[in-house]
Amino acid sequence: MGGKSDYEHLAVTSELLTQLGVPHEVRVVSAHRTPDRMFEYASSAEGRGLEVIIAAAGGAAHLPGMVAAKTVLPVIGVPIPATALNGMDALLSIVQMPKGVPVATMAIGKPGAANAALFAAAILSGKHPELRERLAAFRSAQEAAVLRDAILV
């Protein structure tokens, strides 16, 4: 994430990854304020065993794209509603990547942060069958919860 204040939107990402049994790390790495750290983080990610990167940022939101420029790992971008534009600026910045440097872009804020965790798990589940089973169980539990709630209506 680009700054510590982004974590209020990303806590759900870490919670879901933990729930699904996906080891992960949480770091503050700013594309603008700590560019050398960002370059080092992204370029060393694969060598450190990372398989997917979730990068969240608000405003100009260059972090996901710059991370994607420095690694061939899948990068998932989460726009954060950090300005008066409520995340639309970040969404457009992340989604409009040039050809050749893809970033999978999620929705703005907490819904996107949750989906980023689920999408990362789906990517990883191709290599980790036990994760695929946990992800399927998560989806089944969601379905059961909706069906339970439907009875109340």
d(CA 128, CA 131): 5
The rounded percent of the chain whose pLDDT value lies above 70 is 99
Extract the tokens encoding 19.
Answer: 């729930």
In the block, tokens 């990547």 appear at 97
| E strand segments, 14-100 | 53-58, 75-80
Helix (H) or strand (E) holding 104: strand 104-105
Q: How many CB atoms lie within 10 A of CB 36?
A: 7
- The reply to whether 6 sits in an annotated binding site is yes
The pLDDT, as a whole number, for residue 112 is 98
Domain that holds residue 17: 4-152
Q: Pick from 1, 71, 75: which is nearest to 32 by CA?
A: 1
Question: What residues pair up with 79 in beta bridges, in sequence order?
Answer: 57
Number of domains present in the structure of the chain: 1
CATH number at residue 147: 3.40.50.1970
Q: What is the pLDDT along the chain (153 residues), one digit of tens a residue?
A: 777 888 899 999 999 999 999 999 999 999 999 999 999 999 999 999 999 999 999 999 999 999 999 999 999 999 999 989 999 999 999 999 999 999 999 999 999 999 999 999 999 999 999 999 999 999 999 999 999 988 876
- The reply to whether 36 sits in an annotated binding site is no
